[in-house]
Structure 1
Amino acid sequence: MKVFYCHNCQHQVFFNNTYCENCNALLGYQVAKKTIGTFEQINSLQWKSLNPKDNNHLYKPCYNYTHHQVCNWMIPFDDENIYCESCRLTHTIPDLSEPKNILYWQRLEQAKRRFLYLTQQLNIFPRPKKSDEDRYGLRFNFLMPMPDQPVMTGHQSGTITLNASEADVVHREKTRLDMQENYRTVLGHFRHESGHYYFDIMTHLYPEWLDEFRFYFGDERADYAQSLEEYYQKGSDEHWQDLYISRYAGAHPWEDWAETWAHYLHMMDTLDTAYHTGMNIEANHHIDPDMHFKESPIGSVDFEHTLTNWFALSYALNGLNRSMGLQDAYPFTLSNAVLDKLRFIHRTLMKVALKPETRVSNESDSNIM
């Protein structure tokens, strides 16, 4: 995540801010410019950009910004859409007559925007799903479970369904403990389920890609339902860390890909933040890794250097968390097999980013899916 500054007072602002805490100027994310903009409100639908490079261009806030306070993205004033690029991906929301659901929806949308920001940097920002038959678009359903209608978080044919209860901290922590998981976050759900979506995209656009995928992750044609049943009955192999990023990754090649994909996105976002904040680490012991940047980690040419930076940063983050009495920020072990899978994902994304002709949408230069 980049570092953003208010164009009115030059004070640092953050991705989810709706106003500058120093000067109270209105803020909003400008998708095309990939930045948090500062605005002067002319009326409810006309906000003038204070970015000197914008030449006083007019924008309007997303409908969910002004009516529900669950968004902070902006839309060019002459755009016919009333919803921003993020909110147009949301297909179903919880029943807002329940007050707690508004808070859950807000938390879900906040995590979704963070996920989408990184897809924009990676040049894989998805477009809305146009119909049930549209194989390239994406939609999100945020559903609250009912006594007779449980909700399973998952992906199917370009639709990602999230159990909105995951936005309840107590529910999520209890589930994490019950499932014996060492990591469970709302953002992590978005990143994991998106792995299934992008897997489908890759197999459609690059069918030859599957050969290399199977070399690292195994044959995805193995019966998925049977594999999951065996996993939940028998658990994972005691040496699972030699091959997988998590226990669940060993359930099936699809889950191995989704879990590893999610962790690649965790790495890229965290390293990108370190890069833009100017962080460096000079190790005090000769066997410990340093962290210094010679290029942006996103789309890095020297991915081995990026991995070295990640080791240094994750060690430091975990140590700092322990000093505060908190759980590790990154409670995972990267074996050689997992590192090879991460390298494969990086090569995959470089392949997509370097081939603009694979775009299936003309809606925006940032949309290649």
Structure 2
Amino acid sequence: MRVFKCGQCDNPLFFENTKCENCGQLSGYWDNNRQMLTFDPSSSVLISDREKIEYRYCKNQEHDICNWLVPKNAEQDFCRACQLNRTIPNLSDRENFQKWRNLEVAKHRLIYQLQRIGLDLPSKMTHPNGLCFDFIAKTENPNIMTGHANGVITILLREADAASREQAKQVMNERYRTLIGHLRHEVGHYFWEQLISKDQDALQSFRSIFGNEEENYNEALKKYYETGAHPNWSRSYISKYATSHPWEDWAETWAHYLHIMDMVETAHYFGLKVNNKTFSKNMKIAPSKDPYTIEDFEIIVQTCVSLSFVVNSINRAMGIPDVYPFVITQVVLDKMKFVHQLLLPKRKL
């Protein structure tokens, strides 16, 4: 993610900030041009410092959930990210409220990235082939699970609880389990339907790389949970779960592609660079660039590998887990290249 600054004093702002901690200006995110706009806190209206245009906050700002902006005269009360919510939890429950808040932080970052790529995000409430989110407590429907179906992404609230998520991570022997990871994975299923299933050329290329998705999905998952991944899974897959079925391999690969793009974009905007002398002569460390402007995905991966090694080393120095504990083999890289090439025409630089 890019670095945002206060329009008044140039102080850095986090993506979720509603106020500059240095000068006190109000702040809000305007997704039309991916800018953080700032406003005079003493004024009764939100007139941006940069554009001198009047805005208002998304309606969910009243819950301290969203800092995105909408034009003052817009028909919609909600921003483009919050318009995708179909179901939110009962907010009278304090625990539910905090979990929803955690989910919205991750979801807004996801929507930022999908918009950055240039993907269309119609709401399923107004478009049959659109996208929407259901954030649901397990107690409301004991049979419901986190997942995707026909454009509806369901995330159980327990995933927003750090202790529950860590417990699930240990039970399922996963190396990485985060809210943003869940959302990136599940939205990958949606975009498989939008970008691949309806395009015969893309579908044939998909099958040559990931396998035949017509394999019985339920039987494949049942077999995976009974026997697990084969011993040499890491040579061809980014995770054990990716071995279960071509659809899951795609969704896991898609999620990691988004992880890598966000990591490299963030490093670029912060000006982070890795000293070439630290690594072997065989590793080419590319200069820092915005990954969304790079056509050759190998350059992006080379940057990611060096960055993740450095950040993982810092984490280990502090006694905490690696931020990116995965190995990208040539087979996995080829899968990510397929995702990258599929998305290149969508770019809106």
Q: Considering the TM-score relative to the shorter chain, is it more than 0.5?
A: yes
Structure-2 separation of matches of 1:224 and 1:185 = 24
Which residue is equivalent to 1:114? Answer: 109
| Amino acid of the structure 2 residue aligned with 1:94 | P
In structure 2, do the counterparts of structure 1 residues 99 and 219 end up closer, same or farther at CA, with 3 Å as the change threshold? same
SS for the counterpart of 2:78 is coil
SS for the counterpart of 2:27 is strand
Correspondence 1:318 to 2:312: yes
SS for the counterpart of 1:146 is helix
| Amino acid of the structure 2 residue aligned with 1:142 | F
1:286, CA displacement in angstroms?
5.4
Alignment match of 1:331 (pick from 325, 328, 332): 325
Which residue is equivalent to 1:186? Answer: 179
1:285, CA displacement in angstroms?
4.3
Structure-2 separation of matches of 1:290 and 1:321 = 24
| Mapping for residues 81-120 of structure 1, pairs under 5 Å | 81-120=76-115
Which residue is equivalent to 2:26? Answer: 26
In structure 2, do the counterparts of structure 1 residues 274 and 291 end up closer, same or farther at CA, with 3 Å as the change threshold? farther
CA contact 1:314–1:330 (8 Å) conserved in 2: yes
1:151, CA displacement in angstroms?
3.1
| Amino acid of the structure 2 residue aligned with 1:59 | Y
| Amino acid of the structure 2 residue aligned with 1:139 | C
Correspondence 1:73 to 2:72: no
Structure-2 separation of matches of 1:48 and 1:198 = 37
Alignment match of 1:276 (pick from 250, 269, 273): 269
1:13, CA displacement in angstroms?
0.9
Alignment match of 2:297 (pick from 300, 303, 313): 303
Alignment match of 1:237 (pick from 212, 230, 241): 230
SS for the counterpart of 2:121 is coil
- Out of 140-149 and 281-290, give the one that drifted further: 281-290
| Amino acid of the structure 2 residue aligned with 1:62 | C
In structure 2, do the counterparts of structure 1 residues 62 and 162 end up closer, same or farther at CA, with 3 Å as the change threshold? same
In structure 2, do the counterparts of structure 1 residues 99 and 303 end up closer, same or farther at CA, with 3 Å as the change threshold? same
Structure-1 separation of matches of 2:102 and 2:267 = 24
1:164, CA displacement in angstroms?
1.1
| Amino acid of the structure 2 residue aligned with 1:16 | E
Deviations 1:187-218 (A, max 9, x none): 00110001000000013552321110011100
SS for the counterpart of 1:79 is coil
| Amino acid of the structure 2 residue aligned with 1:74 | L
| Amino acid of the structure 2 residue aligned with 1:312 | S
In structure 2, do the counterparts of structure 1 residues 125 and 113 end up closer, same or farther at CA, with 3 Å as the change threshold? farther
| Mapping for residues 1-369 of structure 1, pairs under 5 Å | 1-41=1-41, 46-51=45-50, 54=51, 56-65=52-61, 67-130=62-125, 134-135=128-129, 137-146=130-139, 149-285=142-278, 287=280, 289=283, 291-293=285-287, 295-353=289-347
CA contact 1:6–1:12 (8 Å) conserved in 2: yes
The number of residue pairs the alignment matches comes to 348
Deviations 1:160-206 (A, max 9, x none): 00001111111111111111101000000110001000000013552
SS for the counterpart of 1:284 is helix
CA contact 1:116–1:125 (8 Å) conserved in 2: no
Deviations 1:258-306 (A, max 9, x none): 0000000000000000111111111334516454436421141232221
1:98, CA displacement in angstroms?
0.7
- Out of 341-350 and 120-129, give the one that drifted further: 120-129
Deviations 1:3-61 (A, max 9, x none): 111011111111011111111111110011201110125776x311112xx1x110000
Structure-2 separation of matches of 1:72 and 1:207 = 40
Structure-2 separation of matches of 1:170 and 1:297 = 34
Structure-2 separation of matches of 1:125 and 1:64 = 22
- Out of 144-153 and 297-306, give the one that drifted further: 144-153
Structure-2 separation of matches of 1:290 and 1:323 = 25
SS for the counterpart of 1:29 is strand
- Out of 34-43 and 231-240, give the one that drifted further: 34-43
CA contact 1:42–1:48 (8 Å) conserved in 2: no
1:75, CA displacement in angstroms?
0.4
Across the aligned residues of Structure 1 and Structure 2, the Cα RMSD in angstroms comes to 1.8
Structure-2 separation of matches of 1:59 and 1:41 = 13
Deviations 1:53-80 (A, max 9, x none): x1x1100001100x21111101011111
The gaps in structure 1 that reach 5 residues or longer are 355-365
CA contact 1:280–1:292 (8 Å) conserved in 2: no
Structure-2 separation of matches of 1:180 and 1:150 = 23
1:351, CA displacement in angstroms?
3.4
